[in-house]
Amino acid sequence: MSNQDSQITHTKQLDKGRLGLFFTLPAQTALLFIVVFPLLASLYLSFTTWSPMTGRGTLWYQAYQFWAWFSNYWNIITDSAFLLSLVRTVIIVVVVVPVELLIGLGLAFLFLEKFPLKKLFHSVILMPMMIVPAVAGFIFYMLFQSAGPVNAILSKILFVEITTPWLTGSVTAMICVMLADIWQWTPLMFLILLSGLMALPEDQLNAARILGANWWQRFRMVTLPLLKPVIVIALILRGMEAIKIFDAIWLMTKGGPGTATETISVYLTKELRYLHWSWVATAGVIVVILISFASIHALKPIKEQEEQT
């Protein structure tokens, strides 16, 4: 009797295994061809110096003719343009993400209470997120012209004629680029944190109130610990996307003035247009390796949450 039972469960599990495979196979196949295979090709190219220019007349898989071992890697790791673009990317992410978090958190707190036209304001605050990022870049380009509205408003407030050429100064261009990202993505943080705040157990906060805690004490000792999981997820997700920042920068400054706002994506795109394909392949491999390491660490919280359910 028991033998039969175990046979039945065994086939059921087999079935389940096969079925599961059936469902995920299409996606995995697509990824295999469109992600894995190209990554391998990239790896191959990175060991060569092939490009449409140098390799005129040959096809890419004949790039072995231009074998260069690790010279690309060595050159890239010591290339100041590449390294600086990484640094600039990190600077932007490190500034932009916490700012978005803080403003989003503040806004979320404001939205906990009732006030007139709340729904309207809620929709307005969400709008920046819905604007095509390239278009957002263009809008900010218009806004920060030296004769544009930003300078006009600043002039009125400060009673001094302000004509800063925002987009042509290195530091100011950086600021503009950061402002564009903050404008576009703070609403996301706001949304996430608002849902986190609304899910807070009210009883715990009431208990803290009765025990004499004032607003700040409640925030620090009760609210923040409860919000931590949400904040972590928000930071990770936003960080993930911020690394790739490109659209707005390209439309605003194209990485300029000079290379002042050249992030890794901008750098790679420029190199692509110069047809330095194997160079970009190498850079791509390095970036992928770096991010893979970072992602294992960063995605741990999400993994843990999944395994809990």
Helix, coil or strand: residue 118: helix
Least CB distance to other proteins at residue 67 (A) = 17
Residues 7, 9, 11, 28: which binds other proteins (CB under 8 A)? 28
Segments in the chain forming alpha helices (H):
2-31, 37-46, 71-77, 80-110, 118-130, 133-143, 149-158, 170-198, 202-210, 215-218, 224-242, 247-252, 264-273, 277-298, 300-308
SS3 for 42-99 is HHHHHCECCCCCCCCCCCHHHHHHHECCCHHHHHHHCCHHHHHHHHHHHHHHHHHHHH
- Contact positions with other proteins (CB under 8 A) in 33-92: 34-35, 37-42, 45, 59-60
Residues 77, 83, 87, 272: which binds other proteins (CB under 8 A)? 272
Candidate segments 2-10, 66-74, 169-177, 265-273, binder of other proteins by CB under 8 A? 265-273
**CB-based contact 282:137 (threshold 8 Å):** no
Token pair listed for 286: 């390095």
Least CB distance to other proteins at residue 306 (A) = 8
Q: Indicate whether 225 belongs to the interface with other proteins (CB under 8 A).
A: yes
Residues 176, 247, 260, 261: which binds other proteins (CB under 8 A)? 247
- Contact positions with other proteins (CB under 8 A) in 160-219: 183, 186-188, 191-192, 195-196, 198-199, 201, 203-204, 206-214, 217
Angle, vertex CA 246, rays to CA 240 and CA 251, nearest 5 = 150
Candidate segments 2-10, 70-78, 166-174, 284-292, binder of other proteins by CB under 8 A? 284-292
Residues 84, 95, 129, 178: which binds other proteins (CB under 8 A)? 129
Which residues on adjacent β-strands are paired with residue 48?
A: 67
Residues 70, 126, 164, 274: which binds other proteins (CB under 8 A)? 126
CA 83 to the chain's CA centroid: 19
The smaller minimum CB distance to other proteins, of residues 54 and 209, is found at 209
Give the span between the Cα atoms of 245 and 258, in whole angstroms. 18
Least CB distance to other proteins at residue 57 (A) = 15
The residue among 173, 191, 134 whose CA lies nearest residue 258 is 173
Least CB distance to other proteins at residue 66 (A) = 14
| Count of chain residues binding other proteins (CB under 8 A) | 121
Residues 14, 31, 81, 94: which binds other proteins (CB under 8 A)? 31
Least CB distance to other proteins at residue 240 (A) = 5
**CB-based contact 248:134 (threshold 8 Å):** yes
Least CB distance to other proteins at residue 96 (A) = 16
Q: Indicate whether 32 belongs to the interface with other proteins (CB under 8 A).
A: no
